[in-house]
Amino acid sequence: MISLEKIRNIGISAHIDAGKTTLSERILFYTGRIHKIGEVGVEGATMDYMQLEIEKGITITSAATTCTWHDTQINLIDTPGHVDFTIEVERALRVLDGAIMVLCGVAGVQSQSITVDRQMKRYRIPRIAFINKLDRVGADPFRVVQALRDKLGLNALLLQYPIGREQEFAGVIDLIEMTANYYEGEHGENRVVKPIPENLFAQTQEAREKMLDRLSLFSEAMTEKLLNGEEVAKELIWSTIRSATLSLELTPVLLGSAFKNKGVQNVLDAVTLYLPSPTDREVVKAFDVKTNEKVDVPADINAPLVALAFKITDDEQAGQLTYTRIYAGTLKKGDRIRNSRTNKAVTVGRFVRMHADKRENIEIAAAGEIVALVGIDCASGDTFCSNGTSLSMEAMFVPEPVVTLSVTPKHKEDADRMTKALTRFEREDPTFHLTVDPESKQTLISGMGELHLEIYIERMKREYNAEVYVGAPAVAYRETISKAVTFDYTWKRQTGGAGQYAHVMGRIEPCGETFVFENKVVGGVIPKEFIPACEKGFRDAINSGLLIGYPVTGVKVILQNGSYHREDSSELAFRTAARYAFEEVYKKAHPIILEPIMLVEVEMPNEYVGRIQGDLSSRRGLVLGSETMGDYSVIRAEVPLREMFGYSMAVRSLTSGQANFSMEFAEYQPVPPSVQEQLVARGVR
């Protein structure tokens, strides 16, 4: 087995069309993992193996593979760039140690770049940045570096200088070794090191001085050498960059064009030099299920097994594939391991190392590795441990769906196929929700956007031969309260034998979290064993608000008092009392409707800026700002999702098809009073 110090678990993340999959393909080619380069949107791109990914030219699901650069094993996950598939990025970053953040050299920091940055910071992931597409018209790496600093708050350190711009882009100058790197051969596989061109020497010398000056803040030894006018050894530069990157104080920036086969080998060097091995990361914490205390999970192959199932997929031949990160210990074929959530032991009959959609059977894997377990029944987020150990890893953040569609089978024979498909999709994707409307009995699917749901509807047809009628998209509203109120409710029922009795008192008030329950009952007026039932009752109540039937969020319930009957009180009685107590006072708490607000980014020729701004304003949009890049401009705005359905056709019409836009969820905000009146009058659901 390879030593932990020689393993890198990394993800490639970015805004859509920044070139993630193209970069992944070159990485696999230069490391010898593949022998032919495939391209996005053309059959052959290794990491985009689904037919829908090939047709649409986008990554839909994250793909994992393993390759080797020099003596380092790189476990690589290529993630989607479209915001509708953000859960794929979320669960990948949850289990990775480092990341490559790819940015377009023209567009720079875009909306999904901001989302990815937030996700990386959430999981404290050290990263390097790769400014791609420097061969394109309008590319400006220095502007992108400044945007990394200004928009993302990163301490971005430029390690290279471009040789030429746009169509003249020929290679990069390494500011550490002060050499020019060119890429020769049919696919740029031969990196050729030459002296720096004379016409660039002065600029690169200045760029190196700026780099060392910024870097010296992290090294006293470097500061001393600079003050004494001494040469700074490259080994000291490498080690200083590495330590500052691992501590999240620095983001090294590299340059290139993956499509033109320039700069990718330098990215691989940076992965091995600057990104962490499993032993370099902060010690992972887990909860001891028995004591509920946090314990350390050191990256040690000799420790008891601790592994996290972070993604599940169904495979026609193999059954369920469970993508798993091993944090501690060793896993062997035939081992008995325990699922901490279900407390059930399972036998590992087979597990594999993934290469996109291909599998390599393996007999043993250890801490720091990512494998897929075959045919084991579990859920995403489950923790597996050695028998005798019972630890649970912290769950990942899962965003709430914002768009809902109704789906109805076209023919009788489609019904079972549709149910089978949707059940599978819900199990695989935590952001895909399947519900049945209690009144209309319609099947409802909810997700992160129209494209997200369109993909699943298309997959239903292709993979399950299930044809469905699709309703118009609907907004996933929320309800909340704006005023604190008290409740005092007694539930009594007498039906011959034992009756039902429960009395609850307390208050509900607005809060910044989805739901908070606080027990302030003293003196045993409500027995301890009934308190969880009270919480369940309040949770039942917030599942469906009384204004338009959508879930209630942002509520704190404080249970303060009550009473019980020795014979007639039960868990059911207190659960019922809590639900009715909430519903009785809900209207007095001045409930309001919340709607999802989307961060919209539109890129268009300068002549259409006025039209786009006017159109966004007419959609109740708030323009946050604009940026001009040569002949093109980018407008950023916050717009209610309700107003954005069908926007792709509208923006095409307004700009004669010359604009692109992206949209991602920003936050929930109260709807205007006039809109609330309309929604309540319609009943919405």
Residue positions forming the annotated binding site: 14-21, 78-82, 132-135
- 197 within 8 A of 180, measured Cβ to Cβ: yes
Phi, psi of 673 (to 5 degrees): -55, -40
- Counts of helices then strands in the chain (DSSP H, E): 16, 38
Helix (H) or strand (E) holding 22: helix 20-30
Coil, helix or strand at residue 541: helix
How far apart CA 501 and CA 406 sit, in angstroms, is 40
Residue 69, strand partner residues? 72
Task: Tell me how crowded residue 49 is: count the other CB atoms within 10 A of its CB.
Answer: 17
DSSP letter assigned to residue 552: B
Residue 143, classified by CB atoms within 10 Å of its CB into exposed (0-12), middle (13-18) or buried (19+), is middle
Task: Please tell me the total number of residues recorded for the chain in this structure.
Answer: 685
Give binding residues for GTP as ranges: 14-21, 78-82, 132-135
Q: What is the signed CA dihedral for 526, 530, 531, 532, rounded to 10 degrees?
A: 180
> In 3-state terms, what secondary structure has residue 517?
strand
Question: Under a CB-based contact definition with an 8 Å cutoff, are residues 124 and 282 in contact?
Answer: yes
Of 106, 92, 157, 169, nearest in space to 128 by CA: 157
Quote the CA–CA distance of 401 and 476 in Å, as a whole number: 7
Measured from the Cβ of residue 441, the count of other Cβ atoms closer than 10 Å reads 7
The strand pairing partners of 517, in sequence order, are 557
Residue 155, Ramachandran bin (φ over 0: left; ψ between -120 and 50: alpha; else beta): beta
Residue 263 is classified by DSSP as S
**Residue 407 contacts by C-beta under 8 Å, 6 or more apart in sequence?**
418, 422, 443, 444, 445, 457, 468, 469, 470, 471
